[in-house]
Amino acid sequence: MGVRDDRSLPEGLRPETLAVRTALPPSQHGENSEALFLTSTFVQPDAATSARRFANMEDFTYARTSNPTVRSLEMRLAAMEGAEGAIATATGMSAILLLIMGLLRAGDHVVCSRSVFGSTIGLFAKEFGKFGVETSFVSQTDIAEWRAAIRPTTKLLFAETPTNPLTEVCDIRALADLAHEAGALLTVDNTFCTPALQRPLALGADLVMHAATKYLDGQGRVMAGALCGANRLIVDVFGATMRAAGMTLAPFNAWVVLKGMETLNLRMKAQSESTLAVARWLEQHPAVARVYYPGLASHPQHALAMAQQSGLGGAVVSFDVRADTPEAARAAAFQVIDSTRVLSIATNLGDTKTIITHPATTSHGRLTEVQRQAAGIGQGLVRLAVGLEHVDDITDDLQRGLSLVGH
Ligand SMILES: *Cc1c(COP(=O)(O)O)cnc(C)c1O
């Protein structure tokens, strides 16, 4: 559990500084790069100290509860999100598992956008449903639908913004107000923007959830997740659940993410700027029917996104290739993907290497055609998670296939 403990640093440091400097103090050796503590248990000076530490969940006892490398990551993420504390988990999905196990009981109700990450929908609809926690799925953008779905038993609103792959944006402040009127909490999955662009707690959200697997690591190496918020939730509620259930982050993975976060602000700015350039290039391309990117003036929630995301659109852009039928659209999308020689054909995001994906046959492949149509995921849709290559090499790679569309 991450009680923020940066007493050795002055107050008022800027986010860029916190991303590099926030951590536990160094060991007696004075290492400048935070150490990796690969140890599952911690030797106690005496039985009485051991008893006190176990009773209060303080300092370090056993690594299921906490580990110094994991604690440094939690402190750093909390500082960047403007949270009192953070608790790290093994994956992004296990952060949501911890959220629900800690907060809810059978009979409680959740309202969630129907455009959130696919595995998140599965976890709420199927897994939590088995334990009597029911979820209503509503429009990402229509606040009236959220309001109408609220019941006396609603304890949690869960949102993700912008969404994958269509980059729809929801109004965090409006959802926070709605949650609080109903006596519920708002959790925002901040994986896509990260605190470099968007800080949901400052907009009224109660909890922030992360798939640290994505931009916080930033180089596609490890799985990790986290929840950030007030210590009465992070320590008292989720810390206790973590100790019981053990969806703990491994110290090595914590160390990788901790070092990744030092370059987060630079990467998010650079990757957002490249993505805007790619989006503009795509928008004027004759073989492209539509581009989905919050940084473009053509995006339906452009103004909201710019206000909420520090004026940047993030690093995911999707586009529809132009075609007359679903069959032709799929063939054209496959041609664009298969003609690339630089980009990675994969399903991940948040890497320095640009990734190209066909959502209709991968992330949304298990939906029926009707469900996919309802979600707006056409056969001609291609998603890019833009990395750090030169932007002209990215557009050249897309042009190889786009130049063939319709020929
Ligand atoms: C990847 C992702 C998750 C799940 O994270 P894992 O680390 O893969 O478990 C949750 N939400 C969003 C928005 C994601 O992109």
State the pLDDT at residue 7. 52
200 with 237, same domain: the answer is: yes
In whole angstroms, what is the distance from residue 407 CA to residue 375 CA? 29
Note the pLDDT tens digit of each residue in 104-163.
999 999 999 999 998 999 999 999 999 999 999 999 999 999 999 999 999 999 999 999
Do 67 and 114 have their domain in common?
yes
Distance CA 7, CA 197 (A): 26
> What is d(CA 402, CA 289) in angstroms, rounded to the nearest whole number?
12
Over range 11-15, report the average pLDDT. 93
The reply to whether 407 falls in a domain is no
Residues 36, 162: one domain?
A: yes
Among protein residues, the one with the nearest Cα to ligand 1's atom 1 is: 211
Domain boundary among 213, 248, 263: 263
Residues with CB under 6 A from ligand 1: 91-93, 117, 119-120, 160, 164, 189, 191-192, 211, 213-214, 223, 225
pTM: 0.95
Give the CATH number for residue 295.
Answer: 3.90.1150.10
Mean pLDDT throughout 202-227?
A: 98
> How far, in Å, CA of 371 to CA of 363, rounded?
13
State the distance from the centre of ligand 1 to the C-alpha of 108, rounded, in angstroms.
24
The whole-number pLDDT of residue 406 equals 78
Query: Per the omega criterion (within 30 degrees of 0), is the bond before 165 cis?
Result: yes
- Per the structure, the count of domains in the chain is 2
- Residue in the structure block whose two tokens are 């982050």: 249
Distance 403 CA to ligand 1 centre (A): 33
Last-in-domain residue among 245, 263, 281:
263
For ligand 1, atom 4, the nearest C-alpha belongs to 92
Up-side HSE of residue 299: CA atoms within 13 Å toward CB?
27
Separation of alpha carbons 317 and 295, rounded Å: 9
- If asked whether residues 29 and 151 sit together in one domain, one would say yes
Residue pair 95/89 in contact (Cβ under 8 Å)? The answer is yes
Q: In this predicted structure, what is the pLDDT of residue 374? A: 76
Within a domain: 3: no
Average pLDDT estimate for 56-79: 93
Please tell me whether residue 60 adopts helix, strand or coil conformation: coil
On the question of a cis peptide bond just before residue 162, with omega within 30 degrees of 0, the verdict is yes
Task: Examine the pLDDT at 392 and tell me if it is beyond 80.
Answer: yes
Among the candidates 246, 263, 280, a domain finishes at 263
